[in-house]
Chain A
Amino acid sequence: MSEPGASPVPRPGAHVVARRRFLGYVLAGATLVTAAAPVLPAAAEAEDAQTADLTDIVDLNDVMTLAGKPTSLSITVEVHDDGTVSFALPRAEVGQGITTSTAMLIAEEMDLPLDRVRVTLADARPELLFNQLTGASNTTISTYTPIRVAAAAARLRLMEAAADEFGSEVGALTLRDGVISDESGHSADIGTLAAKAASETDEEVDVELKSAQAFNDVGEPQNRIDALEAVTGRKKFAMDLAVENALPTMVCRAPTINGTPASVANADTVLEMAGVTDVATISTGVAVRARTFGQCIDAVRALEVSWASGSADGLSDADVLRELEGAEPRMPLPLPGVSRLEEKFTFHFRNNSALESNCAIADVRSDSAEIWSGLKSPIVAQGEIAKLLGLRQSAVTVHVTESGGSFGRKLFFDAALEAAEASKAFGKPVKLMWHRADDTRQGRTQPMAISRVRISHTRNRVLRYDQRHTSVATDLSHGFGDVVTAMAAQVPGLDGTFSQVFFQLSQATSYDFGLSTRLLNETNRSFNTGSMRNVYSPNVLTTRELMVDRLAREWDRDPYELRRDFLDDERSRAVLDKVAEVGEWGREMPEDTAQGIAFMHEYKSVCAVLVEIDCRPETIERPIRNGVAGPRVTKAVCAVDVGLAVNPRGLEAQMQGGIMDGIALALTSGLHLEDGHFLEASWDNYFYTRQWNTPPEMEVVVMPANGEPGGAGELAVAPANAAVACAYGRATGTMPTTFPINHGDLSFDPIPTEPPIPESPTDGLDDAV
């Protein structure tokens, strides 16, 4: 097997860094502290920038990884005298398992048992610049080498200290399970060597990394290190923290998106209500602080507020759709005498709430502030909060707490800003939480978009593939913007607006479809938007894969084989072949049921998904209380190649979760915009996948390691969405062009918008007694 990254032009998953020797640092301190030196990639291969698909040369992850390099040195591994090793991860753990995979990398390089490694989440550290941003599935890609280098430097220093202590040679020592020993019977736990191995000055050390073939634990399935905390209820999320005097706080919000408070008629009466301690108008509404959240809910419902107009007043789905249609970038002139397939697809607004609603604790004083929240871009948050409060950035301490999911939400810090504003207004600490109804109606959404594809082809060849994506503007102002803007100058072939750059960097065409063009246009900034476990890919890819199926029909070819023929690299074909084999592609299926298959290349990884769907009337109409039934995905098979899966068990979980998202995006989960507000206000309105939509059969195949880790967190969403859409098209004989497919039917009674949040029922014991 060749060393990772030997090829100069990155293929999917092949990586740029080729050296195996690295420079590490030992930092001055009383105990052993090591750090990684920046590793600059073997320079972007500029001469290749002219090829059609920019993502073959550089993708978003290269940019983020590059952006993180100069500050990698600030990432340190510390050895303690109790024999544990700690590492403060400058990323957010939002459920994706990066604390586990990071601990595994350190344990591997240092030959330690996993339970000796403690990984915590770092507070906002401005000196880390771009290196403290969790997104685009980038964590493992950009931290894989620096973390191992720092760990290897620590290992080397400990070995040298032991050799000195034992009077032997480093070469004669073995390190196993945290104990160093030699052949003449000396042995010492690394904890006892931590002080001796420390350095009085910063020193450079040349380290060699374990080769992938020598890995013992990396690449082996490992359960999550925080699993016990989670199943016992001991895992602490932001709202579980006991911060002195930080009382529950909620905000009474406008009936329309981004409406602002004009005046409050009854603040004094509300202040008299049981438990209520404070009422104050802030920029987003009227904040109330009370002894319990239940009393906040009652107070919010009792407030009589008159509202100034919002940012989307009067707008409904059809209006936005019309605006998008008017903003579509033009297709190129048709090639004369060439056949064309062309279709337009609509993707409705989707809510990207996590189960933990937006929330933050804030304690704002006159000259300082302290914030606790699950944040993926804590440095940007720190800066914005400081600006809002009129404080220096260094006067704001931002603690990154564990997050109850993210899916793009935690890249923003809406609740942290609000908490800071409310705490300042009250002059007291607050524990601020959004009600679910607010989280769904006023929270961020994946924007509505239309995507148009034209395939120009002959009998057996695609001459051009053109895609025009038009979307309500996606707010990427959470740090990605800074990363890309700062790095774009260094990457050949990039110009245009920031969103264009982002679009080009994050989307690949994958198939050998001749000349290919992709353009993005964004319009309408009235909405609170963000990404949702990926930005454009679920829409762009679903569009593409449906059109590939359409091409297969046109050419009377098998959809799997056609894809296979147009994929030109082995890793891509291998995942496609794998799902076809495991999922028994082409097997006989009953009427109204079908298989669908889709392929995705992104974040240096490749992934294929095959699903079977049941669209029989009796299935679609099966009774579900307060929910939608609809077609059922009965089986899902996924094959994934991320180069190297540090923890295949965690990767499998990420793929399963991604598939659940893809199913929801295709079939059930969308928002309805009506007269300036979203109708959905609960999980029984906004239909994320539930158990009754979950495929009873599911298999994830992790392909054998063949390089360095690629991205994984978002990878399965788009191909699952696409495979379900393709299967639906094949089962019903009609290619779906609007998503989610059930958007035309409203299957719930909307909760009123005034008061803005529903009362909690009181009949909770009825079923139990």
Chain B
Amino acid sequence: MPEHTFRLNGEQVTVDVADDVRLLWVLRDLLGVTGPKYGCGISVCQACTSHFNGKAITPCTVPVSALEESDEITTIEGLPDTVGQELHPMQEAWLEQDVSQCGYCQPGQIMTAVDLVRRASDEGRQITDEDLDGIRNICRCGTYPRIRDAIRNGAERM
């Protein structure tokens, strides 16, 4: 079986699996990294959102063979390390707003939020209502209002 090597949450990992298996299953089923959740498998729900070299992707749509050895995948588990803290500021904001209900969507929501704030700040601007309206992540518990508050709160801390 082909070997695939990439960086995951700061460490080099290698897996033996067919080329076309999507990263989500490599993470969850082979590496036991279960923070990214399944909700659709077709890049709709965004529950699996993680970062590829710092940018948001949906791992359910990335064949593992598309990754280079030097590519860095960050899942919710590795997010705090990107800032060298126990918790990322966005996670702190999530706790402060008490966003989670069932919590199933929340790893993906947080990874999306961090990406959104980074993109806005790269463009030298604040988060707008339009930015928030543009988030596609599903939360079937309907935590959307608190997510909006938490992103604004987290943006200030980042």
Chain B nearest CB from A221 CB (Å) reads: 8
A292-B30 CB under 8 A given contacts A94-B102, A657-B141: yes
A-B contact count (CB 8 A): 233
Bound Cα distance A106, B36 (Å): 34
A404-B42 CB under 8 A given contacts A233-B77, A292-B26, A294-B22: no
Q: Cβ of A512: which chain B residues have Cβ within 8 Å of it?
A: none
Convert A288-312 into 0s and 1s, putting 1 for each residue whose CB lies closer than 8 angstroms to a CB of B.
Answer: 0001111101100000000000000
Q: In the complex, which of the residues A232, A295, A356, A757 contacts B104, with contact meaning CB atoms closer than 8 Å?
A: A356
Across the interface, do B134 and A692 meet the contact criterion of CB distance under 8 Å? Answer: yes
Convert A323-367 into 0s and 1s, putting 1 for each residue whose CB lies closer than 8 angstroms to a CB of B.
Answer: 000000000000000000000000000000111110000000000
Chain B nearest CB from A768 CB (Å) reads: 4
Convert B1-31 into 0s and 1s, putting 1 for each residue whose CB lies closer than 8 angstroms to a CB of A.
Answer: 0000000000000000110111111101110
Across the interface, do B62 and A765 meet the contact criterion of CB distance under 8 Å? Answer: yes
> Does any Cβ of A come within 8 Å of B158's Cβ?
no
Across the interface, do B145 and A694 meet the contact criterion of CB distance under 8 Å? Answer: yes
Chain B nearest CB from A747 CB (Å) reads: 15
Across the interface, do B100 and A405 meet the contact criterion of CB distance under 8 Å? Answer: no
A653-B104 CB under 8 A given contacts A295-B21, A762-B63, A765-B62: no
Across the interface, do A295 and B18 meet the contact criterion of CB distance under 8 Å? Answer: yes
Q: Cβ of A275: which chain B residues have Cβ within 8 Å of it?
A: 17-18, 21
Chain A nearest CB from B123 CB (Å) reads: 16
> Does any Cβ of B come within 8 Å of A172's Cβ?
no
Q: Cβ of B52: which chain A residues have Cβ within 8 Å of it?
A: 765, 768-769
Across the interface, do B102 and A768 meet the contact criterion of CB distance under 8 Å? Answer: no
Chain B contacts with A in 94-138, Cβ cutoff 8 A: 94-95, 98-107, 110, 129, 132-138
Convert A222-250 into 0s and 1s, putting 1 for each residue whose CB lies closer than 8 angstroms to a CB of B.
Answer: 01101111111111110110100000100
Bound Cα distance A661, B144 (Å): 11
A689-B17 CB under 8 A given contacts A436-B41, A653-B98, A765-B62: no
Across the interface, do A760 and B42 meet the contact criterion of CB distance under 8 Å? Answer: yes
Q: In the complex, which of the residues B23, B53, B87, B102 contacts A355, with contact meaning CB atoms closer than 8 Å?
A: B102
Across the interface, do A761 and B103 meet the contact criterion of CB distance under 8 Å? Answer: no
A698-B142 CB under 8 A given contacts A760-B22, A764-B61: no
Q: In the complex, which of the residues B38, B133, B140, B145 contacts A405, with contact meaning CB atoms closer than 8 Å?
A: B140
> Does any Cβ of B come within 8 Å of A382's Cβ?
no
Closest to B149 in A: A698
> Does any Cβ of B come within 8 Å of A403's Cβ?
yes
With most chain B CB atoms within 10 A of its CB, the pick from A223, A682, A758, A768 is: A768
Bound Cα distance A275, B16 (Å): 11
Across the interface, do A232 and B76 meet the contact criterion of CB distance under 8 Å? Answer: yes
Q: In the complex, which of the residues B23, B58, B94, B148 contacts A691, with contact meaning CB atoms closer than 8 Å?
A: B148
Bound Cα distance A684, B98 (Å): 27
Across the interface, do A355 and B138 meet the contact criterion of CB distance under 8 Å? Answer: yes
Convert A618-648 into 0s and 1s, putting 1 for each residue whose CB lies closer than 8 angstroms to a CB of B.
Answer: 0000000011000000000000000000000
Across the interface, do B144 and A660 meet the contact criterion of CB distance under 8 Å? Answer: yes
Q: In the complex, which of the residues B38, B87, B103 contacts A235, with contact meaning CB atoms closer than 8 Å?
A: B103
Chain B nearest CB from A445 CB (Å) reads: 15
Q: Cβ of A223: which chain B residues have Cβ within 8 Å of it?
A: 95, 98
> Does any Cβ of B come within 8 Å of A696's Cβ?
yes
Q: In the complex, which of the residues B42, B43, B55, B101 contacts A97, with contact meaning CB atoms closer than 8 Å?
A: B101
> Does any Cβ of A come within 8 Å of B34's Cβ?
yes
Count of A interface residues, CB-CB < 8 Å: 78
> Does any Cβ of B come within 8 Å of A435's Cβ?
yes
Q: Is the interface of A mostly helix, strand, loop or mixed?
A: loop
Q: Cβ of B103: which chain A residues have Cβ within 8 Å of it?
A: 95, 226-227, 229-231, 235, 402, 404
Closest to B144 in A: A694
Closest to B62 in A: A764
Across the interface, do B75 and A233 meet the contact criterion of CB distance under 8 Å? Answer: yes
Chain B nearest CB from A375 CB (Å) reads: 14
> Does any Cβ of B come within 8 Å of A557's Cβ?
no
Chain B nearest CB from A689 CB (Å) reads: 6
A354-B100 CB under 8 A given contacts A231-B110, A661-B142, A764-B59: no
Bound Cα distance A232, B35 (Å): 8
Q: Cβ of B22: which chain A residues have Cβ within 8 Å of it?
A: 294, 760, 762, 764
Chain A nearest CB from B34 CB (Å) reads: 4
Across the interface, do A653 and B101 meet the contact criterion of CB distance under 8 Å? Answer: yes
Across the interface, do B140 and A355 meet the contact criterion of CB distance under 8 Å? Answer: yes
Q: Cβ of A96: which chain B residues have Cβ within 8 Å of it?
A: 101
Across the interface, do B142 and A353 meet the contact criterion of CB distance under 8 Å? Answer: no
> Does any Cβ of B come within 8 Å of A274's Cβ?
yes
What interface size band does chain B fall in? 35 or more
Q: Cβ of B26: which chain A residues have Cβ within 8 Å of it?
A: 292
> Does any Cβ of B come within 8 Å of A183's Cβ?
no
Across the interface, do A760 and B41 meet the contact criterion of CB distance under 8 Å? Answer: yes
Across the interface, do A232 and B91 meet the contact criterion of CB distance under 8 Å? Answer: yes
Closest to A406 in B: B102
Closest to B30 in A: A292
> Does any Cβ of A come within 8 Å of B139's Cβ?
yes
Q: In the complex, which of the residues A626, A653, A661, A768 contacts B57, with contact meaning CB atoms closer than 8 Å?
A: A768
Bound Cα distance A683, B42 (Å): 10
Bound Cα distance A660, B141 (Å): 8
Q: Cβ of A682: which chain B residues have Cβ within 8 Å of it?
A: 40, 42, 44
Q: In the complex, which of the residues A406, A649, A656, A760 contacts B142, with contact meaning CB atoms closer than 8 Å?
A: A656
Q: Cβ of A758: which chain B residues have Cβ within 8 Å of it?
A: 41-42
Across the interface, do A761 and B101 meet the contact criterion of CB distance under 8 Å? Answer: no
Chain A nearest CB from B87 CB (Å) reads: 7
Chain A nearest CB from B26 CB (Å) reads: 7
> Does any Cβ of B come within 8 Å of A407's Cβ?
yes
Q: Cβ of B80: which chain A residues have Cβ within 8 Å of it?
A: 232
A291-B143 CB under 8 A given contacts A232-B77, A691-B135: no
Chain B nearest CB from A54 CB (Å) reads: 31
Chain A contacts with B in 192-215, Cβ cutoff 8 A: none
Chain A nearest CB from B79 CB (Å) reads: 8
Chain B contacts with A in 47-76, Cβ cutoff 8 A: 47, 52-53, 55-63, 66, 75-76
Across the interface, do B25 and A95 meet the contact criterion of CB distance under 8 Å? Answer: no
Across the interface, do A657 and B142 meet the contact criterion of CB distance under 8 Å? Answer: yes
A696-B129 CB under 8 A given contacts A224-B98, A242-B32: yes
Chain A nearest CB from B41 CB (Å) reads: 5
Across the interface, do A761 and B61 meet the contact criterion of CB distance under 8 Å? Answer: yes
A760-B61 CB under 8 A given contacts A233-B107, A656-B146, A660-B144: yes
Bound Cα distance A512, B58 (Å): 54
Across the interface, do B102 and A294 meet the contact criterion of CB distance under 8 Å? Answer: no
Convert A687-721 into 0s and 1s, putting 1 for each residue whose CB lies closer than 8 angstroms to a CB of B.
Answer: 01111101110100000000000000000000000
Across the interface, do A294 and B25 meet the contact criterion of CB distance under 8 Å? Answer: yes
Q: In the complex, which of the residues A274, A404, A657, A684 contacts B143, with contact meaning CB atoms closer than 8 Å?
A: A657
Across the interface, do B29 and A248 meet the contact criterion of CB distance under 8 Å? Answer: yes
Q: Cβ of A291: which chain B residues have Cβ within 8 Å of it?
A: 17, 29-30
Bound Cα distance A240, B37 (Å): 9
Chain B nearest CB from A652 CB (Å) reads: 9
With most chain B CB atoms within 10 A of its CB, the pick from A230, A293, A402, A768 is: A230
Across the interface, do A762 and B61 meet the contact criterion of CB distance under 8 Å? Answer: yes
Bound Cα distance A683, B105 (Å): 13
Chain B nearest CB from A64 CB (Å) reads: 22
Q: Cβ of A656: which chain B residues have Cβ within 8 Å of it?
A: 142-146
Across the interface, do B39 and A683 meet the contact criterion of CB distance under 8 Å? Answer: yes
Chain A nearest CB from B144 CB (Å) reads: 4
Closest to A655 in B: B142
Chain A nearest CB from B33 CB (Å) reads: 8
Chain B nearest CB from A99 CB (Å) reads: 12
> Does any Cβ of B come within 8 Å of A133's Cβ?
no
9 A-B contacts (beta carbon < 8 Å): A224-B98, A240-B34, A293-B38, A405-B141, A436-B42, A683-B40, A683-B138, A762-B22, A768-B56
Pick the 3 closest A-B CB pairs, nearest first.
A233-B35, A95-B102, A660-B142
**14 further contact pairs, Cβ within 8 A, besides A291-B30, A357-B39:** A226-B103, A231-B76, A237-B37, A291-B29, A356-B102, A404-B103, A405-B104, A689-B144, A694-B145, A762-B20, A762-B22, A762-B63, A765-B57, A768-B55
